[in-house]
Chains A and B, each alone.
Chain A
Amino acid sequence: MMRFSGLNLIAQAFSGHQSWPEQWPDKAPKAAYDVIIVGAGGHGLGAAYYLAAKYGITNVAVIEKGWLGGGNTGRNTTIIRSNYLYDESAHLYDHAVKLWDGLSQELNYNVMYSKRGVLMLAHNVHDIQSFKRHIHANRLNGVDNEWLSPEECQAYCPPLDISPNARHPVLGGALQRRGGTARHDSVAWGYARKATALGVDIIQNCAVTGIRRGPDGAVQGVETERGFIGAKKIGVSAAGNTSVVMNMAGLEFPLESYPLQALVSEPVKPIFPCVVMSNTVHAYISQSDKGELVIGAGTDQYTSYSQRGALHIIEHTLAAICEIFPIFTRMRMLRSWGGIVDVTPDRSPILGKTPVPGLYVNCGWGTGGFKATPGAADLLAHTIAHDAPHAINAPFNLDRFRNGRLIDEAAAAAVAH
Chain B
Amino acid sequence: MLLIHCPYCEEDRPEVEFVYGGEAHIARPLDPASLSDQDWEHYLYIRRNPRGRHHERWRHTHGCGRFFNAVRDTVSDRFEQTYKAGEERR
| Contact (Cβ within 8 A) B56 A303 | yes
Identify the closest chain B residue to A310 (Cβ): B1
| Contact (Cβ within 8 A) B41 A254 | yes
Interface residues of A in 247-262 (CB under 8 A from B): 252-257
CA–CA, A254 and B26, complex, Å: 14
Q: Is B48 an interface residue (CB 8 A)?
A: yes
| Contact (Cβ within 8 A) B51 A252 | no
| Chain A interfacial residues counted at CB < 8 A | 23
| Contact (Cβ within 8 A) A253 B49 | yes
| Contact (Cβ within 8 A) A303 B45 | no
Q: Is A305 an interface residue (CB 8 A)?
A: yes
Identify the closest chain B residue to A243 (Cβ): B49
Interface size of B as a range: 20 to 34
Q: How many A-B residue pairs have CB under 8 A?
A: 69
| Contact (Cβ within 8 A) A305 B75 | yes
A252 surroundings in chain B (CB, below 8 A): 42, 46-48
CA–CA, A244 and B22, complex, Å: 18
| Contact (Cβ within 8 A) B49 A255 | yes
Task: Please encode chain B, from 63 to 84, with 1 for each CB lying within 8 Å of some chain A CB and 0 for all others.
Answer: 0000000001011110000000
CA–CA, A310 and B14, complex, Å: 11
| Contact (Cβ within 8 A) A310 B2 | yes
Q: Is B38 an interface residue (CB 8 A)?
A: yes
Identify the closest chain A residue to B16 (Cβ): A312
| Contact (Cβ within 8 A) B74 A256 | no
| Contact (Cβ within 8 A) A310 B54 | no
Q: Is A19 an interface residue (CB 8 A)?
A: no
| Contact (Cβ within 8 A) B44 A345 | yes
Task: Please encode chain A, from 86 to 99, with 1 for each CB lying within 8 Å of some chain B CB and 0 for all others.
Answer: 00000000000000
CA–CA, A131 and B74, complex, Å: 36
CA–CA, A345 and B22, complex, Å: 12
Interface residues of B in 1-42 (CB under 8 A from A): 1-2, 15-16, 19-20, 22-23, 37-38, 40-42
Q: How far is the CB of B46 from chain A (nearest CB, A)?
A: 5
| Contact (Cβ within 8 A) B16 A254 | no
Which 3 residue pairs across A and B have the least CB separation, nearest first? A254-B45, A243-B49, A301-B20
Supply 6 further A-B pairs (C-beta < 8 A) apart from A252-B42, A312-B16: A241-B51, A254-B45, A256-B23, A257-B49, A257-B74, A302-B77
* 16 pairs from A and B in contact (CB 8 Å cutoff): A241-B51, A243-B49, A244-B49, A244-B50, A253-B49, A254-B45, A256-B47, A257-B49, A301-B19, A302-B2, A302-B77, A305-B74, A312-B16, A401-B45, A402-B37, A404-B37
